Amino acid sequence: FPEERVVGNSFVIDLEIETDLSLPSKTDNLDDAVDYQKAYKIVASEMEEKSALLENIAGRILKSLSTELEGIIGATVKVAKINPPLGGKVKSVSITESWHR
């Protein structure tokens, strides 16, 4: 919707990362675990890009995670738009997309 481009939107991102837990569960060492701060920065960076579709946002997030984040074997991202202008009272709309090696 054109008005969304002017006033902007609020979004909530839920991210599930699949990884092999065998080493970090034994060592309790951060160096052996997925870098969640890096995952956050990847998501934040993708959210700064303009996009017309939630599907595009989710796809970009998954692609970036798959190429930039070490140690993951899959991920699921849910992108929710809060209070979308759909002509009625709607709390949110969302899409969920997954990627696996």
What's the CATH number where 24 sits?
Answer: 3.30.1130.10
Listed residue (71, 80, 59, 83) closest to 18, CA to CA: 71
What does the pLDDT read at residue 86?
A: 87
What does the pLDDT read at residue 43?
A: 98
Query: From CA 6, how far away is CA 73, in angstroms rounded?
Result: 38
Listed residue (82, 87, 93, 90) closest to 7, CA to CA: 82
pLDDT at 29 over 90: yes
The total number of structural domains in the chain stands at 1
pLDDT per residue over 31-45, tens digit each? 999 999 999 999 999
- Which one from 50, 81, 89, 91 is the annotated catalytic residue? 81
The residue segments making up the domain with residue 38 are 2-100
81 is catalytic: yes
Region 10-18: mean pLDDT is 97
Q: What pTM value is reported for the model?
A: 0.88
Tokens of 68: 């930039």
